[in-house]
Structure 1
Amino acid sequence: MSDELQRVVDSLARRVGRAVAVDDTSFRLLAYSAQVGAIDDMRARVILTREAPPEGLAWLRRFRLGQASGPVRLPPDAELGLLPRVAIPVRHQGLQFGYLWLIDADQSLSDQDLAVATVAAGDAGEVLFRERVIDELRDARVGELVRDLLSPDAEAQQLAADGLIEGGFFASRGGVVAVVVQPLPTAGHEVHEGDRLALSAALHSTVSTLPPRECLSLVRPRHAVLILPQSTLERFPRVPHDLRSAVEDRLGAGDRWRAVVAGVGGATQRFADAGISCQQALVAIRVADVVPTFRPVAAYDALGIYGLLASQPLEQLDALKVLPAIDALLSPDPALLVTAELFLDRAGDSRVVAEQLGLHRASVYNRIRRIEQLTGFDLSDGEQRLVLHLGIKVARLLGRT
């Protein structure tokens, strides 16, 4: 928290001769003074952990402090090891920011002391109000820069990269990587405002676990984006998994989603090229959408031929002349397509194909002859094998299988 809030707390502690602390509305510690006078176990625990323990929270909620209009005297509690204390709401411009606390072990705080403390609580509220405004302006500025960084305009990308570094918003240390998480809706459903709030909350919780200035985030209409230095992702390799899980948890159970998938782009050498990594992460999600074996976290660098194919325009892929041959395999028996793909994936090793499909090798040979008859491809010819192999992968990307 800011030096200004700390000065408010220290000044009040000197004037009233006892320990002072300020919490936010969730009773997380924001600032505290030197421990003048008596303190109790609860105060010591809060200073060590930065938040009240569960039993302390339950005790505090009994007093409905959020409805208080002025100082509230709280009694001691021997079972919890609590000394008497005073809570004063910290507000400004009608907004509640937290509470100012004074331990009053001998219950000697006078009305004059409380009046001084109430003024200090108002000062703390003004400090926190200004900081909230500054944070909101900062977040808006960073959001604009990140949107420009991910735009297709090369000049805007470079200006945004320079602005993020010069503004102290991002510590660029070589290559950067984009992580994108996207829920995949079932038919008839779309991502709505509540889902975007879930994406935002999940993104915020993940960002809070990372070092400052080592990540940038953005919520788009259908997905969430996280940009990290490559070195940070290497230190925290679970980030894509954790972000995906956080999104899934916040979206909740139901039949609206087929899956929640994370895509990880390749590392770019220049910070200004972060948009390339973001597009690669989206390609990885597109592949994982139709090829479930890449879920729940799909890395662009691990897509193989799918990465190259998925980067092409859909209309170009859909116009490939090989696709009718794939359709010809599906119509009599879908097992023929499975056999053809496995045969081609395993470089024509019929023994491996037979083992994986649980067939006799003679049955595999019979299927291969049937595949050649239906498609018109000679699978002993390397070039024809390649065309058919690519055709199967394209058909999977287009959802034709």
Structure 2
Amino acid sequence: MSLDDAVQDLADRLGVALVVVDHDLRIAAFSVHDTDARLARLARLLAGSTAPLTKPLVEQHRVRQARHGVRVPQDDGELVVLPLRHEQQLLGYVYYVEDRDTPRADDLAVLESAAPEMGALLSLRISDRRHGTENSRQLLAELLGESPEKRAEAAGKLVRDNLIDDVEHYSVLVLRAPDSAPRSITRLAVEATLEFTTRSTTVKIVGAVLGAEGIVLFPRPVNRDRLERALAGPGLEVVVAGVGSVRPSLAQAVDSYHEARLAQRASRLDPQRYGKRVFWDELGLDRLFLQLPLDRLTPSQFPDGVRRLLDAPHGVELAATLEGYLDSGGEIQSAARRLRIHRSTLYYRLDRIREVIGCDITDGSIRLELHAGLRIARLAGLWPHE
């Protein structure tokens, strides 16, 4: 018997919506129901951050140490929780909310009698999950690696092992915490994305941590709103997410991966413009600039006008003014609004810029040179300082 079958049989005997979670409160199995009341109850039990069983509750009521079922009063019914163990090791919990008008007196005994078998089955589920995680990590590494032959083999195995859906559109999400943050934050971001997607859709996705990056492979375009909700947990606000474009085959997902890496790089280099969730399709000309050896550029390699502006007194103010002016297509009123300054102030600064760079900023080729140069300087970290 599988864990899913055991949970379903027990839920049918008790007449409740039943959920099994591992020791980190990640969902391992849950019962299936066809009545509106039970479906509503199950939806609440599976509702992530609003689910009734939380880590603070486990600690407060000493559920971890309990050897029998624990009853916890709640606003809309009593939460019944039972630890699941195998070979004396705590593996997780089975729980339900008591909302029946006439519960049976022996319900807790029935639940406890099923606990040994469910603990053993949960142990197998966790073992399978760990094996699947390692298998997914290896296949993802090969799918996104340099060898076309290994990419093709990994793509076929991911589909044959039923780890990912066989479709005609794949996209890659790259997650990364700041270098100053613990590496575990990236792993938590991957797990949060996997759990949210599994809980909210029937889509099969694959995720793993490769080096410093968290990688999640989707058989569809990545939805921005769902991504935001998946990464809304505590501690994950520092994680940068880069999303590649959709590719028509699994073997070509490596191209979406490279785009996703560049997208998350854009966030790290210019967080003010891009924020923490960046899609390849949003990058515009930065798609090209981000592929330059930005870390090896020096001010001397920039055009003279750009270099003079970067070195000038009040360079940060003048550079930002010129950038805003050029971003607005040279239209004064629009540029003044963008920069939040009066038009007379803008005219004054533009005169100063002309003096500093010694160029005609109405010339199209000069504008292109200045605009591209300033953008690359910002991405390269060569923007002037106060």
TM-score (structure 2 length as normaliser) = 0.72
Query: Is 2:322 the partner of 1:340?
Result: yes
Specify which of 199, 205, 209 is matched with residue 209 of structure 1.
199
Query: Is 2:373 the partner of 1:391?
Result: yes
Structure 1 residues 210, 179: CA separation in 2 closer, same or farther (over 3 Å shift)?
farther
**Partner deviation per Cα, 1:330-378 (whole Å, 9 max, x = no partner):** 42223221222223222322343345443345952x5444434432433
Amino acid in the other structure paired with 1:388: L
Amino acid in the other structure paired with 1:266: S
Specify which of 292, 295, 309 is matched with residue 329 of structure 1.
309
Structure 2 residue matching 1:238: 3-state secondary structure: helix
Query: Is 2:283 the partner of 1:303?
Result: yes
| Match of residue 149 from structure 1 | 143
Structure 1 residues 212, 387: CA separation in 2 closer, same or farther (over 3 Å shift)?
same
Larger deviation: 385-394 or 205-214?
Answer: 205-214
Contact 1:261 1:285 in 2 (8 A): yes
Contact 1:181 1:244 in 2 (8 A): no
Q: Distance in 2 between matches of 1:272 and 1:169?
A: 15
Structure 2 residue matching 1:91: 3-state secondary structure: strand
| Match of residue 99 from structure 2 | none
Structure 1 residue matching 2:199: 3-state secondary structure: coil
Structure 2 residue matching 1:325: 3-state secondary structure: helix
Amino acid in the other structure paired with 2:258: Q
Q: Distance in 1 between matches of 2:283 and 2:56?
A: 50
**Partner deviation per Cα, 1:227-254 (whole Å, 9 max, x = no partner):** 22335x3xx43133224433xx2258xx
When the two chains are superposed, the root-mean-square deviation of aligned CA atoms in Å is 4.7
Q: Distance in 1 between matches of 2:26 and 2:173?
A: 33
Q: Distance in 1 between matches of 2:77 and 2:346?
A: 78
Q: Distance in 2 between matches of 1:108 and 1:299?
A: 51
Structure 1 residues 126, 321: CA separation in 2 closer, same or farther (over 3 Å shift)?
closer
Matched pairs, number: 363
Structure 2 residue matching 1:276: 3-state secondary structure: helix
Contact 1:157 1:272 in 2 (8 A): yes
**How far apart are residue 300 of structure 1 and its match?**
1.7
Specify which of 221, 225, 228 is matched with residue 241 of structure 1.
228
Q: Distance in 1 between matches of 2:107 and 2:191?
A: 44
Contact 1:377 1:385 in 2 (8 A): no
| Match of residue 139 from structure 1 | 133
Structure 1 residues 80, 270: CA separation in 2 closer, same or farther (over 3 Å shift)?
closer
**Partner deviation per Cα, 1:104-147 (whole Å, 9 max, x = no partner):** 946699xxxx8x99886444333332232222212211121112
Query: Is 2:258 the partner of 1:250?
Result: no
Contact 1:46 1:53 in 2 (8 A): no
Amino acid in the other structure paired with 1:250: G
| Match of residue 118 from structure 2 | 124
Instruction: Please give the residue correspondences for 1:157-172 in structure 2 after superposition, counting only pairs within 5 Å.
Output: 157-172=151-166
**How far apart are residue 193 of structure 1 and its match?**
4.0
| Match of residue 5 from structure 2 | 6
Q: Distance in 2 between matches of 1:379 and 1:219?
A: 48
| Match of residue 350 from structure 1 | 332
Contact 2:189 2:231 in 1 (8 A): no
| Match of residue 256 from structure 2 | 277
Specify which of 342, 345, 349 is matched with residue 359 of structure 1.
342
Amino acid in the other structure paired with 1:347: G
Amino acid in the other structure paired with 2:380: L
**How far apart are residue 394 of structure 1 and its match?**
0.6
Q: Distance in 2 between matches of 1:80 and 1:370?
A: 68
| Match of residue 172 from structure 2 | 178
**How far apart are residue 28 of structure 1 and its match?**
7.8
Instruction: Please give the residue correspondences for 1:31-42 in structure 2 after superposition, counting only pairs within 5 Å.
Output: none
Contact 2:302 2:373 in 1 (8 A): yes
Q: Distance in 2 between matches of 1:391 and 1:44?
A: 58
Query: Is 2:274 the partner of 1:294?
Result: yes
Q: Distance in 1 between matches of 2:5 and 2:380?
A: 59
**How far apart are residue 316 of structure 1 and its match?**
6.3
| Match of residue 208 from structure 2 | 218
**Partner deviation per Cα, 1:193-212 (whole Å, 9 max, x = no partner):** 44345434433443333434
| Match of residue 39 from structure 1 | none
Contact 1:344 1:385 in 2 (8 A): yes
Structure 1 residues 320, 121: CA separation in 2 closer, same or farther (over 3 Å shift)?
same
**Partner deviation per Cα, 1:236-273 (whole Å, 9 max, x = no partner):** 43133224433xx2258xxxxxx543222222222222
TM-score (structure 1 length as normaliser) = 0.70
Note the residue ranges of structure 1 that are not aligned, 5 or more in a row: 35-41, 253-258
Larger radius of gyration: 1
| Match of residue 38 from structure 1 | none
Query: Is 2:217 the partner of 1:227?
Result: yes
| Match of residue 375 from structure 1 | 357
**How far apart are residue 92 of structure 1 and its match?**
2.7
**How far apart are residue 164 of structure 1 and its match?**
0.7
Structure 1 residues 162, 339: CA separation in 2 closer, same or farther (over 3 Å shift)?
same
Percent of residue pairs identical? 22
Amino acid in the other structure paired with 2:178: L
Q: Distance in 1 between matches of 2:239 and 2:60?
A: 40
Q: Distance in 2 between matches of 1:315 and 1:28?
A: 43
